[in-house]
Chain A
Amino acid sequence: AQSVAQPEDQVNVAEGNPLTVKCTYSVSGNPYLFWYVQYPNRGLQFLLKYITGDNLVKGSYGFEAEFNKSQTSFHLKKPSALVSDSALYFCALIGNAGNMLTFGGGTRLMVKP
């Protein structure tokens, strides 16, 4: 069975500071990892994905994520947070079941001015 864990329900960061949203995974075989963001009363918006290649993946709105196979992690990062980054973030995994996404529980990011 495959799973995704987001250990923090909420992350608080001051505007201008770097942010990290954590994600760990469990899967047999190669993982294919995604980050999505959801603003209030909206659908999910794709940020970035790791399929293969460079462990550092760059995505939309200045976000990036680092794939670490030995730690089975795929943490989302941004060098300088904006208040507008405040939203719900989901890490997701495609394992061995075709294009079916397994989601983590979500992390609410709060960026304060």
Chain B
Amino acid sequence: DTEVTQTPKHLVMGMTNKKSLKCEQHMGHRAMYWYKQKAKKPPELMFVYSYEKLSINESVPSRFSPECPNSSLLNLHLHALQPEDSALYLCASSQEGGESGGFYEQYFGPGTRLTVT
């Protein structure tokens, strides 16, 4: 099973709302990633978890808060977002990653299409 699942598929939220994105993988991967992707652009890395610990935060605003409850799950908590945060949010996983090194391909979920009104 090489599947990464993400929920919800679509999310519309106001600037004062609090919502969460969820990601799950059952491949035994030890690294998980959050990316933000604008239309027709490459994904931009936001966060990396390696062995359930946050290993990389690419200077993401505090209105985005990641959480890794266990090795299979990754959440992204959203609060007080801005309209410019509207994008496709992608989760990915790989066998190893982050600062632990390795050259493993990442498997991506289908994404959550977020619209901030």
Q: Which A residues form the contact surface with B (CB < 8 A)?
A: 32, 34, 36, 41-46, 49, 51, 88, 90, 94, 98-101, 103-106, 108
Contact = CB atoms under 8 A, between A and B. Distances in A.
A90 B35 CA distance: 15
Nearest to B44: A103
Given A43-B4, A43-B108, A45-B108, A98 B40 contact: no
A90 B105 CA distance: 13
B102 A43 contact: no
Q: How large is the interface on B (under 10, 10 to 19, 20 to 34, 35 or more residues)?
A: 20 to 34
Nearest to B10: A41
Contact of A99 (B41, B88, B104, B107): B104
Interface of B: 4, 6, 31, 40-43, 45, 48, 56, 88, 90, 92, 94, 96-111, 113
Contacts of A36: 108
A34 to B, nearest CB: 6
B31 to A, nearest CB: 6
